[in-house]
Amino acid sequence: MAYGFDKVLDSYRKKLVDVEQKCMMQPDLPISHIQHEFEDFQLLLPALDSCLKYVHNHKLQGCQILSFLHQQCSSGISSVETAFTR
């Protein structure tokens, strides 16, 4: 599970670096542009956070985790479904 989450967060890390470089090149970059750049992650990150908290709080193991992740794959949010499928 940790490996899968790490892979999902790779795109977030890359986006952070890209936006940081843009901000350094264009100090007057509007905050709305930065917000737009991270729009894909506004639903994904809270979903990942709540998933980790649920697994931790309920002490899920093995097949319980797989079953829970399978349930999360049908959230109706494409970016979240893709992340949990990974």
Q: Which of 67, 57, 76 shows the shortest CA–CA distance to 1?
A: 67
In which band, very low, low, confident or very high, does the pLDDT at 78 lie, cut at 50, 70 and 90?
confident
pLDDT reported for residue 57? 97
pLDDT at 1 over 90: no
Q: Which of 52, 40, 53 shows the shortest CA–CA distance to 82?
A: 40
User: How many other C-beta atoms are found inside a 10 Å radius of the C-beta of residue 9?
Assistant: 16
Q: How far is CA 21 from CA 6, 13, 26, 80, in A?
A: 22, 13, 9, 27
Phi, psi of 39 (to 5 degrees): -55, -40
The pTM of the full predicted model, rounded to 2 decimals, is: 0.81
Q: What is the pLDDT of residues 19-72, one digit of tens each?
A: 999 999 999 999 999 999 999 899 999 999 999 999 999 999 999 999 998 888
